């Protein structure tokens, strides 16, 4: 008996190549630019701008990485400085952020809290009594006055020190007195920051942790051994 052969049907699957999809992370929205320059509206904007600063070579010494520039921009934003002003007026000295003396005074004046401010010479020129007296008064009536003399600089082992203390001694006396007063009277404006002229005179901090405790597990091992005895 003949059996009818069943025809073989071959089906071909058609696979469509998926179209490329652009994820939100790949989309770079434009950064707005106004009369005062860039307008950073997000953390991504700030980081992109920080990378541009590093690539341009405009990053100050100590801020050669985009992350450091980003932190400086954030610090400036808290103080009320524009991104570029933050880069030009803040410094990282021995790992400590600081603000230059001229910028500190500018921020205090711009705050609207300053009633009066004066800087005057005191003492006899060339003598230990010579110095600069700085007086600042807030609109609420609180007042601060500080004098920094050659004698004070000698006591702090600053007088004759190589660098600004030798090249611009009078100005350094002024910056030291100014920094003390502004920090005392307008600490809320400066967020507790010291002036760069003051911070650069601090001795460099050293890590005195014993080497055995610096390595991974060293401190844990020391504590374990100590607890076992």
Please state, in angstroms and rounded to a whole number, the distance separating the CA atoms of residues 164 and 169: 7
Question: Tens digits of per-residue pLDDT, 83-136?
Answer: 989 998 988 887 788 999 999 999 999 999 999 999 999 999 999 999 999 999
**How far is residue 137 from each of residues 108, 119, 120, 141, measured CA to CA in Å?**
11, 12, 15, 6
Question: Tens digits of per-residue pLDDT, 9-53?
Answer: 555 555 555 554 444 444 467 777 766 677 788 889 889 999 999
Give strand pairing partners of 149: 131
């Amino acid at each position: 008996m003949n059996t009818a052969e069943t025809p073989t049907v071959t089906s071909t699957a058609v696979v469509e190549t998926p179209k490329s999809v652009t994820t939100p992370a790949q989309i770079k929205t434009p950064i707005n630019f106004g009369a005062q320059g860039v307008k950073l509206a997000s953390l991504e904007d700030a980081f992109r701008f920080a990378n541009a600063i590093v690539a341009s070579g405009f990053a100050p010494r100590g801020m050669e990485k985009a992350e450091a520039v980003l932190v400086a921009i954030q610090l400036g934003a808290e103080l009320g400085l524009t991104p570029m002003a933050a880069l030009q007026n803040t410094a990282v000295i021995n790992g400590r952020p600081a603000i230059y003396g001229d910028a500190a005074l500018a921020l205090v004046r711009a705050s609207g809290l300053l009633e009066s401010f004066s800087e005057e010479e005191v003492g006899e020129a060339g003598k230990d009594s010579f110095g600069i007296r700085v007086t600042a008064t807030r609109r609420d009536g609180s007042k601060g006055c500080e004098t920094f003399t050659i004698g004070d600089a000698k006591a702090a082992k600053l007088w004759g020190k190589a660098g600004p203390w030798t090249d611009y001694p009078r100005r350094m006396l002024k910056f030291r007195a100014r920094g003390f007063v502004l920090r005392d009277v307008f600490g809320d404006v400066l967020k507790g920051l010291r002036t760069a002229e003051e911070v650069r005179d601090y001795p460099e901090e050293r890590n005195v942790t014993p080497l055995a405790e610096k390595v991974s597990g060293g401190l844990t091992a020391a504590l374990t051994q100590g607890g076992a005895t």
